[in-house]
Amino acid sequence: MSVVRTGGSEINGRPPNATGTVTSPVPLMNWREFACGWGAAFVNITVTYPIYKMIFRQMLHGVQLRQAFGQLRSEGITYLYRGIFPPLAQRTISLSLMFGVYDGTRRPLVEYCGMGQYSAKTIAGCMAGSVEAILMPFERIQTLLADANYHQKYKNTHHAFRLISIEYGFKELYRGMVPILWRNGPSNAMFFVMREEADQRLPKRTTLVTQRTQEFVAGACIGAFISSVFYPLNVIKVTMQSRLGTPYEGMLVALRQVYNERDRKLRNVYKGVSMNCTRAFFSWGIMNCAYEQLRKVLY
What is the per-residue pLDDT for 204? 85
Residue 16's pLDDT is 44
Residue 25 is predicted with a pLDDT of: 53
Max mean pLDDT among 57-66, 69-78, 169-178 falls in: 169-178
Structurally, how many domains does the chain consist of?
1
Given its phi and psi angles, is residue 263 left (phi above 0), alpha (psi -120 to 50 degrees) or beta? left
Element (H, E) at 27: strand 26-27
- Counting Cβ atoms within 10 Å, is residue 215 exposed (0-12), middle (13-18) or buried (19+)? buried
State percent of the chain over pLDDT 90: 44
The range of the structural domain enclosing residue 58 comes to: 2-298
Which is more confidently placed, 245 or 106?
A: 106
Tell me: pLDDT of 151 over 90. Answer: no
Express each pLDDT in 20-56 by its tens digit.
444 445 566 789 999 999 999 998 888 888 887 888 7
Has residue 197 got a pLDDT over 90? yes
Count of residues in the chain: 299
pLDDT category at 7 given cuts 50, 70, 90 is very low
| Residue 110 CA from chain centroid, whole number | 25
pLDDT band for 191, please (50, 70, 90 cuts): very high
DSSP bridge partners of 22: 16
Q: What is the mean pLDDT of residues 203-228?
A: 92
Highest mean pLDDT among 202-211, 219-228, 235-244, 254-263: 219-228
Specify the CATH number for the domain of residue 17.
1.50.40.10
CB 245 within 8 Å of CB 148: no
DSSP 271-282: TTHHHHHHHHHH
d(C-alpha 88, C-alpha 42), whole Å: 7
Mean pLDDT of 250-260: 90
Range in 22-26, 66-70, 139-143, 153-157 with the lowest mean pLDDT: 22-26
% of the chain at pLDDT higher than 70: 91
For residue 156, how many other CB atoms are within 10 A of its CB?
A: 13
Ramachandran region, residue 114 (left: φ > 0; alpha: ψ -120 to 50; beta: rest): left
CA distances from 273 to 11, 63, 238, 251 (A): 54, 12, 14, 19
The pLDDT score that the predictor gives to residue 56 is 79
2 pLDDT tier (thresholds 50, 70, 90):
very low
Mean pLDDT for the stretch of residues 6-23: 42
Q: Output the average pLDDT for the chain.
A: 85
The answer to whether 72 and 53 are in contact (CB under 8 A) is yes
Q: What residues form DSSP beta bridges with 2?
A: 27
Q: Measure the CA–CA gap between 196 and 267, rounded to whole angstroms.
A: 32
- The confidence score (pLDDT) of residue 22 equals 42
25, 13 contact by CB (below 8 A): yes
Please give the helix or strand (H or E) that residue 165 lies within, else none.
helix 157-168
Residue-wise pLDDT tens digits, 156-190: 888 999 999 999 998 999 999 999 999 999 999 99
Q: Please enumerate in sequence order all residues whose Cβ is within 8 A of that of 128, keeping only pairs 6 or more positions apart, or say none.
A: 97, 98, 99, 101, 102, 105, 188
Query: According to the model, what pLDDT value does residue 4 have?
Result: 37
